[in-house]
Structure 1
Amino acid sequence: MAGVDEHQIRQSALWGHMTQVLAQVIRERPANAMDALSAASNHLLSGSAVPPTKGKMYVDPRPTARAEAPIDSFTSTRWAANTNTALAPPRPPRRPRRADGENDEEEEDDASANAGLDGQPRIDLADHPGTLSDVVMEQQYFNMVGLGLPRVEAYRLLVGLRQLIRSEPLSSVRFWGVVTGSSYDYYVAECQVDAERMQENAEMNGEGDEEGGMEEEEEHAPVSKIADVLCTVARGRLARRGPRPSTPAEEAGTGLNAMCYYASTSADPTTWTRLPDVSPHHITVARALRCRFSGNFDAAVHGHPRFMGSEKHYLRAQIARITSACRIAPVQTFTTEGAVPDAEEEEGAPAHPPPTAVPAYSVVPPLLPQEMPDEEDTDAIAAVQAWFTGYSKEELMQTKGWSHIAPSVLSCGRVTTALAEEEEEQEPADGEGENGQGDGASASEPPPPPEPEMVAPFLCDISLDAPLSYSGHSRAHLAAWTFRKAYEVEGSQTSVYVAKSLRWPGAATYAVTTTGRPGASYQMMYYGTGLKDMQGAYYAPPLPAPCCHEYVEAPGEFDGQWDCTIDEELRYAPPPPRPEAEEEEDEEEDV
């Protein structure tokens, strides 16, 4: 054929199909090879040696060149590509520049190869890997008691987390859990930011130069952009409508914002979105709402009271609430200082039990790992007997065997009390009296400080959690936690315990212990709707606040009176006017 070369013919679909047909005929060696060509062609195209005689309604009866791709084929292909990218070995470090100027051309070639499409150097964080938890092994422990994710899904999450820690300046990444939604589910990762890597990224990207350029552009902006600037300001003011939050938010790296969280959807678990830091307003409003998630980060949260933010802010608030209430560890794993106020003990008096409630903390007490006591110090070993022996006496099947390792959230939406603003000193107002001397105005006395909120002490046992009560249940109160022990082979020294929360269904923590070895390895995970248990009650949104009085009425100011009758109107009516003739006679008499 004119205009078609041999290479195009060999790359065509017809050439490939005929090659497969001839290969099948040669492999099977039928008696009549010429008649078998048609049957082999039909078998390769439609899966049947006999061509279809009657097609389906509204379907093209002609055989297609290839079968339809499976539903999950594109997903598997994308996962395979991401796996190769995430698990690729790190690049070797670049060679330092020599003083004599040799290998300049090679270094220039390396720099051009490492540069991105925009000319900026690519950020290669493979030389600074962070700590990544083993998601596959963690889910295996949960699978022992019927919880957790399947093995294939856990492996995919491991690939996605591996890609996250390489692309973001993070020092540690842990799989937090799954929050189900109507359209997609959220996969949440708990991370800790690495300050050194963040500074390196800022230097490589030149953020300082960009900020300076932005300031210069705004300062010398043309007049044609004034409308765009005004629209941007108006849009920002419109988004800030609503009640102004009075409680200041906690700084990044402290309190509820001590860790940062990334989330991805089940549609593409390799694309991660950083969730914003939580604010006290989001916590307090989320307590009054009960909205299910949709799987869209930018979806609006409808309800009363109004939630100022999108679904990603609501997701971050629920994550903070669940983490604060359900992050537990085996008892005696950590120690702290200053969690309980020191009490003066009298000599010879019996020791008082630890308090069940303490005033809210202004600073979160430090969380210190348990130190190995001296083997000869019997008193030190007795204080941490359960931890030292590896919880060999089934301590992890009781509420006293677990302790909270996260601070409680206060009613204001913080874990620490907000510092009161310093009151400005009021200067005395000078006024002249009758004697001409100025009398200083007496300063008003400040109001008494409010009583501190009482919370459970830091690192307290989960036995102090309020029990659950369901109407109509045979038991008046149910413990907030339930425990299970995984099956173990006879003679095995390793045991797996799991504690599940009933107040937040879906929150679970496993602990792996070894007989004779101090301590235990543990990890927490959540898999649920992100909503708190209602204890059998129906949700009812809070009522709106009562209407304010627009005007304070004085007593008797707007009292109604009866209308007067016709007789009363005639009694007080003015007399009728006199006729004109009588008026003229009166004037003549006067003259």
Structure 2
Amino acid sequence: MLNEHTRTKINNRKKQIFFFFLAFLFYGFCRDWGEHKRNGETKQGKRRRQTKRKMSVRPLVEDVEEMFGRTKAYLMNANKDGVSVYDQLTRLMEQLLDENPHDIAADPSRFNEIFTLLQQSSFVNGQSTPACNEPCSVPPFELARLADNERLFDRPPPETLTTIEQPDPYTTVTTTRIKPHTAPPYDSVAQHNLYWAWAGCGVTEEEAFLLDRSITMLAMEKKLRDVRFFGKIFGTKADYYVVSSQRYVQDGEKVYKEVNTMPRPARRKLEVPVQPEPGFVGVNRLSFWVTSHPAAEWKLLPDVTPQQILAGRRIKRLFTGDLNAAVIASPPFEWNEAVYLRVQLSRIASGTYISPMGALEEPEEEVDDEEEAEDDEGDAAKKPREAKYRPLTQPVKGFASEEDSDVTQWAKLDQWVHSEGYIYANGRQTKVPEKQEDEEEEEAEELQQQQQQEEEEEEEEEEEEEEERELFTPINLDFLYAVIKIPEPPKVDEEDEEEEEEDDDPAEDAADAEKDFDDMPPKPVTDADVPDDDPTKVKIAAWTVRVVNNNSKKHRVVVVRSLRWPGAVAFAAEGGKKWGCVYFGNGLNKTDFSFTPTLAPPVLPECGDITEVDDPTPATEKLVRRGEDPPEPDSEDEVEEEEEEAEGDM
């Protein structure tokens, strides 16, 4: 068996021999044709040529090479369009020796057809084209996309580091060091795509390869850490490829620790907007990068605020693929699609990022020396402190390191836990820190609180604060719907029917209904409060788990799917050594068939008539400032007496 290099060498040698032979024949033909023109078609001329051939001797090698060069130069003469006979003969030889589509050796009559086809389809606008009349099967937009993909294989220029040292006043040492960019470690898309295929989702092999190249270039260019392919969001016009990373700090940006800056409400019943979470904390702990194609530019999504998350929870709208598109929905969403996409990605990450139990752990809390020094200062003025990134979780060393570990041990819902913070009802993952105030302000607040204690007792009870969720909560405690109560047919007796017919008073029926409603037990706050053996209520799990590729113990894969967020998938393979999460969906959570959109707010009441009221007296104002209720005067004389007393005190 000959290798490819040897076969190429033999074919090139064949072509050289053929061209040499063809040039020799052409030279002889031209010489004979010239003599034929000079001597004419006479028998004497024919005998003279035959005699000359017999008398001719074998030419030398130098003469043959010179003759070949002159013949080749003559054949390479091109016209104004760049067409030459040599190019046509070359292309003809390539067709005969390499492709040989019609087996010319067995059917020489087809030679004329190939040569005619070659003349018709070659030398278009002075450029050589394949010997084919059919147009290119690749569409123009695909050719443009392939040209864009070439950018993914360009290596970024190395980083040049220059250091200048001056060991003494008369010596300067300049050191230049070239540091090539290195890609940070991350889970390969092409490798995980094999497990996604077993789960029934994923991308093509070409997409996976291009995504690996694109993500690698993004991570090297922006120097990202904790890079992870989040998934793919399907849109009506274009799709989004999503990559998550550690919070990206732009040039000149500084991230400070959170300080409570929320003002006090002007009135007790008014709500103050919740302040957003800073970088490195909560929903803004991660940065999300999106692109519509692996060869396109990756765009950074902005940070999200609690108000945006609350607005995103109230609407459901498909993505278009344009980050600058307006989000038209009811209730109205004031921001563009980039913000809406960032909101949905935060919600998906919070609800679907899960891990096998024991695979991750919380890192130990570290106390900086700067924080301790500032705490010891006491009353000194505190300046805003810069925050440092602290991971929420970290992998456990030695997890699933046993060779005989079976992946089926994670084929239960109680063996998977949530590994991302829970977004509370106020749109934050963390609580707002307590407000630090001076002693004078604290004393004033205490007096104010004492004055309002009586009013608070009369008002309705305030809503209870939402319970704090632990980080590693098993997913078997998640339920898709609220508690579903199975209706039962009421038991009706004949005697009761007769009594109802006799006593048909609507007022009494309404009173009985209110009484029955009051006697009903309160609805459980959470699904966990409902016992599992209650036959009148049903709880539906929010996750499904199954084992695929169960042919051998080594190749089993456990797949976990989310029913609340269709498209969210988690897997565990190779005995637990490989696991991960991904999302392929339209970015919307599960909606019941009986879904009703959020109703419009009620119409505001009309402004009431103007009522004229006498201005309060100075005595009344003084009593109100003290927190006392002003007495109701019985007559005008008492009002005048109060005014006189107030003037005397002043």
Compute the TM-score of the two structures, normalised by the length of structure 2.
0.55
Match of 1:307 among 326, 333, 340: 333
Cα 1:89–1:407 shift into 2, 3 Å: closer
Name the counterpart of 2:279: 252
Confirm or deny that 1:135 pairs with 2:162.
Answer: no
Match of 2:153 among 84, 98, 107: 84
Computed over aligned residues only, the root mean square deviation of the Cα atoms, in angstroms, reads 4.7
> Which whole-Å deviations, capped at 9, do the CAs of 1:85-104 have from their partners, x for residues lacking one?
1xx38748668679899999
Confirm or deny that 1:399 pairs with 2:413.
Answer: yes
Name the counterpart of 2:320: 294
Name the counterpart of 2:206: 152
Deviation, structure 1 residue 392: 3.5
Identify which range, 68-77 or 405-414, moves more after superposition: 68-77
2:417 and 2:472 in contact (8 A); partners too: yes
Q: Secondary structure at the match of 1:41?
A: helix
Which whole-Å CA distance do the structure 1 matches of 2:92 and 2:172 have between them? 59
Which whole-Å CA distance do the structure 2 matches of 1:454 and 1:318 have between them? 23
Name the counterpart of 1:70: 139
Confirm or deny that 1:409 pairs with 2:423.
Answer: yes
Which whole-Å CA distance do the structure 2 matches of 1:11 and 1:66 have between them? 25
2:407 and 2:572 in contact (8 A); partners too: no
If each structure's helix is expressed as a fraction of its own residues, which one has the higher value? 2
Name the counterpart of 2:573: 512
Which whole-Å CA distance do the structure 2 matches of 1:522 and 1:172 have between them? 16
Which whole-Å CA distance do the structure 2 matches of 1:310 and 1:537 have between them? 28
1:261 and 1:274 in contact (8 A); partners too: yes
Confirm or deny that 1:161 pairs with 2:187.
Answer: no
Deviation, structure 1 residue 307: 1.6
Identify which range, 7-16 or 289-298, moves more after superposition: 7-16
2:354 and 2:418 in contact (8 A); partners too: yes
Which whole-Å CA distance do the structure 2 matches of 1:255 and 1:11 have between them? 71
Cα 1:521–1:553 shift into 2, 3 Å: farther
Which whole-Å CA distance do the structure 1 matches of 2:392 and 2:162 have between them? 43
Equivalent residues in 2 for 1:67-466 (5 A)?
67=136, 69-71=138-140, 72-79=142-149, 81-85=150-154, 88=155, 91=158, 126-193=180-247, 246-266=273-293, 269-336=295-362, 367=393, 369-370=395-396, 392=406, 394-419=408-433, 421=435, 444-445=451-452, 451-466=464-479
Identify which range, 89-98 or 36-45, moves more after superposition: 89-98
AA aligned to 2:227 is V
Q: Percent of aligned positions with the same letter in both sequences?
A: 22
Q: Secondary structure at the match of 1:152?
A: helix
Q: Secondary structure at the match of 1:171?
A: coil
Cα 1:133–1:32 shift into 2, 3 Å: closer
Which whole-Å CA distance do the structure 2 matches of 1:510 and 1:393 have between them? 10
Q: Secondary structure at the match of 1:508?
A: strand
Name the counterpart of 1:573: none
1:408 and 1:456 in contact (8 A); partners too: yes
Which whole-Å CA distance do the structure 2 matches of 1:134 and 1:454 have between them? 38
Q: Secondary structure at the match of 1:250?
A: coil
AA aligned to 1:321 is R
1:178 and 1:526 in contact (8 A); partners too: yes
Q: Secondary structure at the match of 1:309?
A: coil
Cα 1:454–1:390 shift into 2, 3 Å: farther
Cα 1:14–1:416 shift into 2, 3 Å: same
Match of 1:540 among 597, 604, 623: 597
Deviation, structure 1 residue 539: 3.8
Which whole-Å CA distance do the structure 2 matches of 1:485 and 1:524 have between them? 16
Name the counterpart of 1:568: none
Which whole-Å CA distance do the structure 1 matches of 2:77 and 2:215 have between them? 44
Q: Secondary structure at the match of 2:452?
A: coil
AA aligned to 1:167 is E
Give the unaligned 5+ runs of structure 2.
1-74, 98-103, 125-131, 255-269, 366-389, 487-536, 613-650
Identify which range, 450-459 or 396-405, moves more after superposition: 450-459
Identify which range, 245-254 or 330-339, moves more after superposition: 330-339
AA aligned to 1:263 is V
Deviation, structure 1 residue 316: 0.4
Which whole-Å CA distance do the structure 1 matches of 2:277 and 2:296 have between them? 30
Confirm or deny that 1:497 pairs with 2:558.
Answer: yes
Confirm or deny that 1:40 pairs with 2:118.
Answer: yes
Which whole-Å CA distance do the structure 2 matches of 1:65 and 1:11 have between them? 26
Q: Secondary structure at the match of 1:189?
A: strand
Give the unaligned 5+ runs of structure 1.
1-5, 47-62, 111-123, 209-242, 340-363, 373-383, 430-439, 556-591
Cα 1:273–1:511 shift into 2, 3 Å: same
Deviation, structure 1 residue 73: 2.5
2:247 and 2:279 in contact (8 A); partners too: no
Deviation, structure 1 residue 313: 0.4
Cα 1:174–1:367 shift into 2, 3 Å: closer
Q: Secondary structure at the match of 1:161?
A: helix
2:360 and 2:396 in contact (8 A); partners too: yes
Which whole-Å CA distance do the structure 2 matches of 1:370 and 1:34 have between them? 75
AA aligned to 1:525 is V
Which whole-Å CA distance do the structure 2 matches of 1:43 and 1:471 have between them? 77
Q: Secondary structure at the match of 2:291?
A: strand
AA aligned to 1:145 is A
Name the counterpart of 2:503: none
Confirm or deny that 1:521 pairs with 2:575.
Answer: no
Deviation, structure 1 residue 153: 1.1
Cα 1:44–1:441 shift into 2, 3 Å: closer
Cα 1:190–1:102 shift into 2, 3 Å: same
> Which whole-Å deviations, capped at 9, do the CAs of 1:384-422 have from their partners, x for residues lacking one?
9x9989864833221111011112111110012224656
Deviation, structure 1 residue 529: 0.4
Identify which range, 254-263 or 136-145, moves more after superposition: 136-145
Compute the TM-score of the two structures, normalised by the length of structure 1.
0.60
Match of 2:547 among 440, 464, 485: 485
Cα 1:269–1:530 shift into 2, 3 Å: farther
Q: Secondary structure at the match of 1:493?
A: coil
Cα 1:149–1:11 shift into 2, 3 Å: farther
Identify which range, 150-159 or 273-282, moves more after superposition: 150-159
AA aligned to 1:551 is G
Cα 1:552–1:407 shift into 2, 3 Å: farther
Larger radius of gyration: 2
Which whole-Å CA distance do the structure 2 matches of 1:404 and 1:415 have between them? 14
Q: Secondary structure at the match of 1:292?
A: coil
Which whole-Å CA distance do the structure 2 matches of 1:18 and 1:143 have between them? 50
Cα 1:90–1:410 shift into 2, 3 Å: same
1:335 and 1:370 in contact (8 A); partners too: yes
AA aligned to 1:264 is T
Q: Secondary structure at the match of 1:187?
A: strand
Which whole-Å CA distance do the structure 2 matches of 1:181 and 1:141 have between them? 24
Cα 1:471–1:543 shift into 2, 3 Å: farther
2:181 and 2:220 in contact (8 A); partners too: no
How many aligned residue pairs are there?
A: 420
